[in-house]
Amino acid sequence: MQGGEMEKTKINDILTYDFYSSLEISNDEKYLAFLKTNADLDENKYNSYLYLFDIEKNKKYKVSDNKNIGIFIFDENDNLIYKEKSDDKFDYFYKKDKSMGVGSLEFKIDKNVSYIKDLKNGYYLIKASDKLSEDERKKQKENSFYKEVTKLPFWFNGTGYINNQKQSLYLFKKEDKSLQKIRNFENESLNAFAINKNANKLALVLGKNDNKVSRLRDDLVILDLENKEEKIIIENEFSYYDLFFNDKDEIIFVASDMRKGGINEDAFIYKTNLTGEYKKISPDDFDKSFGNSIGSDARYEAYRTFFYKNNKFYFVVTEKEESKLYSLDENENIKLEISGCVEDFAIANDNIYYFAMTENRISHLKEKKNNKILLDNKINSSLGKIEEFFYESNGDKIRGFVLLPVDFDKNKKYPTILSIHGGPKTEFSNIFHHEHQVFANDGYIIIYTNPHGSSGNGIKYSDIRGKYGTIDYEDLMNFTDLAIKKYPQIDENNMGVYGGSYGGFMTNWIVSHTNRFKAANSQRSISNWTSFYGVSDIGYYFAPDQTGANPWDNLEKMWEQSPIKHAKNVKTPTMFIHSDEDYRCPLEQGLQMYTRIKENGVDTKMYIFHGENHELSRSGKPKARIKRLEKIKEWFDGYLK
């Protein structure tokens, strides 16, 4: 793990990593399909290639030279069907059979297809939007100098201003290549859907709006494909994660009613019949965070969280500092299937194939049955050692992490950085984190923890509504104090602090309330809850929910929880990083904090990345990601070394 003959982990190493994702398995269970994504510095983008993995031969091979494949499935005959290309008129789907030959055109559809499922009855279920006509494209270009805003939210991070392009569900008949529309979704959003085993009923999760303001709770609708009748069976009750039909035409769904812990409340598993009589089927004490919320800057593309097969419901939860795969059988018995850090999975009849991450491997392919690595993905540069300890804070036992420098010498002092994750309902663990290791390879200690508000410890732990900057701040300071005591190698006179999103908020808060850090870096942050309310894509509901206040009824409470109120106290040199297309924590949030600190006469600067959004540090364009980390390191090197 440490030092030796290996080369150091460097900033540009992010260009060399293979990111595996989107795992699928053929019906005969002989093949796996997945995406391999790599950064391309010359073109300043990411290339995603489609691969097949022959399980028996333990061999992978590339299916297509297309650099941007995102949609693919196995059909009922175990052929791989994938969207090879798209133009102004058609989406082109190719078929790759079991031979070593190249794929060939299977069919084309005159829509923008975003989802396809083989129904194994001669039909595909397709989700798509219309292609724009030549006149529509021309008109769109002519009118590109302005936007009409009529909805809330009016933009989404990573998407931009919301347009009125309608999504629809279709049945595509393989025999004659005909397309039959099932339903339009206008003035509502299709947030999740499932089709039953007989392919005659659809369950739809519909996001509705009140006066063009999106509701936080959805409607669950049953659509009978034979008689076209539609019925709301659960109305405005839950926010849904996903749903599946079981073999009895009951619906298994994961949802939160948000009544106990607000919008960040952990969800539970429910079952309902077709009339909407539902019950919770996961235990009350199974208080887990669904999905993998463990932070890393070394992954890309989508990962599966839920799946239903052979009368079992499979799901990933974040529990403590692991992302685990569980199953729930038809008798409502929960079983732990896989521990560690599960990134993605595919279910076979007597095995589970999955991508995992560890401290020295990014997403790599494993099988559960023999606990064997099938496709390795080990980091080949030197890595600092991660140590752990527990500490007590605000009535809970919390895990802390200390990443030691490569070639660590216990008799030396090292500059140290406190790293704070985003969220707040995410978390850090001991899995590989590229930028942390870049610092560890250049003589830094990195310390990090999961304060109250983080995921993996239940609703009570993650619920810090109205408490931002109080117990979470105390946790971080208590952790830092104990880390210094346990590791005398930490140079407490040369400490920095940094983080993004919630981590940026907390960095803003910390430098407004203590001078113990010699330098700080705040990224994609919140500084002012009162303005965040009206400009963020989630602001109108996230800000009131998380602060327990709004700008009209209890302005002072919202203002008190805003770092900008306290920014006159800042004496810590602080660098800001923001993206001008960040619609989650918009640019003005960073600018406000920068302006006040500049007026304080404190050294500060700001880097604004054009064309990037809230995901800059994780999936931003390669040149921007590299420049970002270069500037962060340059800033801390200037003050801590």
- 403 and 522, same structural domain? yes
Cα–Cα distance measured from residue 151 to residue 164, given in angstroms and rounded to the nearest whole number: 10
Domain limits for position 471: 385-527+562-640
The residue among 158, 184, 210 that closes a domain is: 184
Fill in the amino acid letter for 294.
I
In a domain, 220, yes or no: yes
Residue 246: its pLDDT value, please? Answer: 96
Which residue type does 295 have? G
Q: Are 21 and 300 in contact (CB under 8 A)?
A: yes
For the question of whether the overall pTM of this predicted structure is more than 0.85, the answer is yes
The answer to the question of residue 551 being in a domain is no
User: Is the separation of the CB atoms in 107 and 84 below 8 Å?
Assistant: no
Query: CATH number of the domain that 635 lies in?
Result: 3.40.50.1820
Same domain assignment for residues 91 and 204: no
The per-residue pLDDT of the chain, averaged, comes to 96
Q: What CATH number is given to the structural domain containing 212? A: 2.120.10.30
What's 79's domain CATH number? 2.130.10.10
CB atoms within 10 A of CB 466: 17
pLDDT at site 1: 44
Q: In terms of domains, do 55 and 122 share one?
A: yes
Same domain, 422 and 520: yes
| Whether 469 contacts 431, CB under 8 Å | no
**Does 175 share its domain with 200?**
no
Nearest one of 514, 517, 518, 508 to 591, comparing CA atoms = 508
Q: How far apart are CA 186 and CA 441, in angstroms?
A: 53
22/45 same-domain check: yes
Q: Is 273 in the same domain as 327?
A: no
- End-of-domain residue from the set 184, 217, 237: 184
What lies within 8 Å, CB to CB, of 286 at 6+ separation is 268, 334
* Domains identified in the chain, total number: 4
Nearest one of 625, 566, 576 to 600, comparing CA atoms: 566
Q: Compute the average pLDDT of residues 362-377.
A: 97
Average pLDDT over residues 240-244: 98
Q: Which two tokens stand for residue 550?
A: 């709004």
Q: Which tokens hold the place of 202? A: 């659809």
| Statement to judge: residues 481 and 627 lie in one domain | yes
369 plus 397 within the same structural domain:
no
Mapped onto helix, strand or coil, the DSSP state of residue 514 is coil
Last residue of a domain, one of 259, 282, 305: 282
Q: Say if residue 2's pLDDT is above 60.
A: no
The answer as to whether 547 is a domain residue is: no
Containing 479, the helix (H) or strand (E) segment is helix 471-486
What is the arithmetic mean of pLDDT over 546-564? Answer: 97
Q: 428 is written with which tokens?
A: 């850090």
- Tens of pLDDT, residue by residue over 44-90, are 999 999 999 999 999 999 999 999 998 999 999 999 999 999 999 99
pLDDT digits (tens, 9 = 90+) for 458-485: 999 999 999 999 999 999 999 999 999 9
pLDDT of res. 423: 95
Distance of alpha carbon 632 from alpha carbon 610, whole angstroms? 17
Mean pLDDT, range 218-246, rounded to an integer: 97
- 3-state class (DSSP) for residue 400: strand
Please give the full DSSP string across 538-589, using - where no structure is assigned.
SHHHHHHHHHT--TTT-HHHHHHT-HHHHGGG--S-EEEEEETT--SS-HHH
Query: Tokens 């080990």 map to which residue?
Result: 378
- Return the H-helix or E-strand segment holding 437: helix 434-440
Kindly state whether residues 111 and 130 are assigned to the same domain. yes
